[in-house]
Amino acid sequence: MVTTIGILGAGRVGSAIARTALKAGYAVHIAGSGPAADIELIVDIVIPGAVPMTAAEVAASSDLVVLAVPMHKFRSVDPATLAGRIVIDTMNYWQPIDGELDEIAADPRGSSEVVADYFADARLVKTLNHIGYHDLETDARPAGHPERHALAIAGDADAAAVVAEVINRFGFDPVLAGPLASGVAFEPGSPVFGGRHTAAELAAELEPAEAA
């Protein structure tokens, strides 16, 4: 069972996910690119309750790790530290922020599959990428609420099931899209990206991808 969520990246997305996880009752370990002391004050005020650490310490001490670094920096995360772990990939390739990343742009596969090649020994799951970081905190609703939104999850079935429970506790209906390759269906540019959907609406949007 997941009790501690580790987050790599203490930026907008990392902080919003950290607060959401704390609210859901998880312990949260978080790191920026540098030493823990660099983000101590930030964490203390902006993410009270989370524990600042180095990235390696976060990876070693958490049941599940969330990658919330800019896409153009994912190679600065040491893949050895994530071997064997369930890792949520929240990253989107967005050219205006990331610049030209040929390895993503030129690869016909989804960005998470490219990322998964690099973190070869991790169990990568794609989710939390198609919701804005503001909305993550304002849109969370208890299970069964009529306005509850859904989030898509792509990854191998066992890892995706673990992540689905986390998404549920975060306040969203998890919708399983299939293996990691089906993550293209909720990348930027897809009808799902940035929209708001109930579980039924999201499942309907994702169906063609599943059939393919």
Partner 1 sequence: MEIGAYSFGDTPLNPDGSPRSTAEGIRNLFDAIVVADKAGLDYFGIGEHHTVSMPASSPGALISAAAAATGQIILGSAASVISTDDPVRVFQQLATADAISGGGRVEITAGRGSSVETFPLFGYDLADYDRLYAEKLDLLMTINDSATENVTWSGTVRPTLDDLAVVPRPVAGRLPIWLATGGNAASSARAGKLGLPVSYGIIGGEPHRFAPLTELYRRSAAQAGHTENIKVSVATFGLVAPTKKEALERFYPGWHSLNVEMGRLRGWGAPDRRQFDAQAAAPGAYYVGDPDDVAERIVHLHGYLGHMRHFLQGDFGGLPTEHLHESLTLLATEVKPRVARLLAAK
Ligand X SMILES: NC(=O)c1ccc[n+]([C@@H]2O[C@H](COP(=O)([O-])OP(=O)(O)OC[C@H]3O[C@@H](n4cnc5c(N)ncnc54)[C@H](OP(=O)(O)O)[C@@H]3O)[C@@H](O)[C@H]2O)c1
Q: What counts of helices (H) and strands (E) characterise the chain?
A: 9, 8
State the nearest-atom distance from the C-beta of 76 to ligand X, in Å.
4
State the nearest-atom distance from the C-beta of 85 to partner 1, in Å.
26
Helix (H, G, I), strand (E, B) or coil at 83: coil
Q: Residue 20 or 90: which CB sits closer to ligand X?
A: 90
Tokens of 194: 């940035």
Verify binding: residue 95, ligand X, rule CB under 6 A.
no
Q: Which does 129 bind (CB under 5 to 8 A by kind): ligand X, partner 1, none?
A: ligand X
34 touches 13 (CB < 8 A)? no
State the nearest-atom distance from the C-beta of 84 to partner 1, in Å.
31
Q: Which does 159 bind (CB under 5 to 8 A by kind): ligand X, partner 1, none?
A: none
Q: Which does 150 bind (CB under 5 to 8 A by kind): ligand X, partner 1, none?
A: none
CA distances to 5, 158, 207 from 150, rounded to whole Å, are 20, 19, 14
63 touches 162 (CB < 8 A)? no
Catalog residues that contact partner 1 under the rule CB under 8 A.
10-12, 15, 32, 39, 41-42, 45-46, 72, 92, 94, 96-99, 132, 134-135, 137-138, 187-196
Residues whose CB falls within 8 Å of the CB of residue 174, separated by 6 or more in sequence, listed in order? 127, 150, 151, 153, 163, 164, 165, 167, 168
Q: Which does 141 bind (CB under 5 to 8 A by kind): ligand X, partner 1, none?
A: none
- Cα–Cα nearest to 87, from 54, 68, 57, 65: 65
Q: State which of residues 4, 33, 168, 190 lies at the interface with ligand X (CB under 6 A).
A: 33
State the nearest-atom distance from the C-beta of 78 to ligand X, in Å.
8
